[in-house]
Amino acid sequence: NFADNILQRANLKDYGEVTNALGSVSGGTTINLELGNSVTATATGAVTWTISGPTASDELCGFVLFLTNGGTATQTWTDVDWPSATAPTLSASGLDIIVFQTIDGGTTWHGQIASTLSS
């Protein structure tokens, strides 16, 4: 536990990231980054997504969402800016990989699709 201290000049090899497995989601759903920066979920209905637990506003913070069946219903993203101000079209039956980053403590998240219909 580094307790938010800086790790400098480290070489990482064969590392992993903790996955926050949300399971089936609908309605109001929070992604808590204190539980992991790799997130998995399966949409079973409309979801209003919020994100909590980012790092401080002077640090880059990011996570990856592996979302299954996100296109089956409306996905609403709180505090997320998308390219061309348009949320992506997600797969109704399949896996989409979405990357989010912030540099202002989560006031604004920048989202982009990394892959659609992944397997």
For residues 75-112, one letter each, b for 16 or more C-beta atoms within 10 angstroms of the residue's C-beta and e for the rest, the string is: bebeebeeeeeeebebbeeebbebebebbeebeebebe
- Amino acid present at 31: I
pLDDT tens, residue by residue, 50-90: 999 999 888 999 999 999 999 999 999 999 999 999 999 99
Please write the tens of the pLDDT for every residue from 19-51.
Answer: 999 999 999 999 999 999 999 999 999 999 999
User: In the structure encoding, which two tokens stand for residue 70, read together?
Assistant: 């996100």
Residue 16 has pLDDT above 70, yes or no: yes
